[in-house]
C-alpha cells in the first residue's frame, strides 16, 4: 500500500531523505507537488491535492528537519 496525500508525516520523512540539503521553506508549492508525485512509494490521485495539503506537508518537513 502506497503513501497517500493524507500521510503528510510519511511524505515529510521521504522528502527529508531524498532532499537532505533543501530548506523546505524555500520550496515552491509546484515543486513540492512534483517532488511528492515522484516519490517511489507515492500512490494517490494527483487531483486530490490542494494548497492545504501542501502546507501541511511543508510544515511536517520543517519539523522533521529540526
10 contacts: CB under 8 Å, gap ≥ 6:
3, 41
Helix (H, G, I), strand (E, B) or coil at 42: strand
Overall residue count recorded for the chain in this entry: 66
Q: Assess contact for 7 and 39: CB atoms under 8 A.
A: no
Residue-wise pLDDT tens digits, 32-62: 999 999 999 999 999 999 999 999 999 999 9
> Is CATH 3.10.450.50 the classification given to domain 8-65?
no
What pTM did the predictor assign? 0.94
Amino acid at each position: 500500500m502506497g503513501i497517500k496525500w493524507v500521510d503528510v508525516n510519511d511524505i515529510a520523512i521521504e522528502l527529508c531523505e531524498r532532499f537532505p540539503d533543501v530548506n523546505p521553506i524555500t520550496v515552491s508549492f509546484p515543486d513540492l507537488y512534483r517532488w511528492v508525485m515522484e516519490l517511489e512509494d507515492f500512490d494517490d490521485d494527483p487531483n486530490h491535492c490542494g494548497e492545504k495539503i501542501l502546507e501541511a506537508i511543508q510544515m511536517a518537513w520543517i519539523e522533521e528537519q529540526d
